Structure 1
Amino acid sequence: MQITIDLPDSLQFTEADLRTELAIALFQQDRVTLGSASKIAAMHVMDFQKLISDRGICIHYDVEEFQQDVQHLQERGWL
């Protein structure tokens, strides 16, 4: 999906800034997973985790996400 938003130049937001803020907001609202949020922000998941941790945002990590992580690691031959 592509969305175009016209913002005043005075806001001085980059596309990366907006993607990051959107990802954080959606993650905080439990609308996306940590992995999805990091993709929206175009960041490695560990970098995104550090960013939200630095902002004092709780990383809600449930059993389902853990199982997905284990599956991804197994698919890559890391487990």
Structure 2
Amino acid sequence: MSLIISNEILEKIEMSEGQLQIEIAVMLFQQERFTLAQAARFAQMNQLAFQKLLAKRHIPLHYGMEELMEDFYNLQESKENDNSQ
């Protein structure tokens, strides 16, 4: 699914497309509809940068088993990619 936001709306809310993506990611993370990894990916940021953004805004991390398993999987995948090079 694609969502098209007109330039008129972006101008009205005084945000770029990227800024709006970040705000949506933060909102969905706060509502626990996105995991940390999903929110970071949606915001087109790496997880560390997204965590720093959340910390700057005083937004606590909700880090459950699903996020732990996703991070473990991503770490394993990254390790395998490093070993294949």
Q: Deviations over 1:13-49 (max 9, x none)?
A: 1011100000000000011111110011111110000
Q: How does 1:23-62 map to 2 (within 5 A)?
A: 23-62=25-64
CA RMSD, Structure 1 to Structure 2 (Å): 1.7
1:64 aligns with 2:66: yes
User: Counterpart of 2:4?
Assistant: 4
Match of 1:13 in 2: 15
Percent identical pairs in the alignment equals: 38
Quote how far apart the aligned CAs of 1:74 are. 2.1
Structure 1 residues 29 and 77: alpha-carbon distance in aligned structure 2, compared to 1, 3 A threshold: same
SS in 2 for 1:60: coil
AA partner of residue 61 (structure 1): Y
Q: Which one has the bigger helix percentage?
A: 2
Instruction: Give the SS at the match of 1:77.
Output: helix
Normalised to the residue count of structure 1, the TM-score between the two structures is 0.85
Task: Calculate the TM-score normalised by the size of structure 2.
Answer: 0.80
Q: Secondary structure at the match of 1:21?
A: helix
Which ranges of structure 2 fall in alignment gaps of 5 or more residues? 81-85
Match of 2:76 in 1: 74
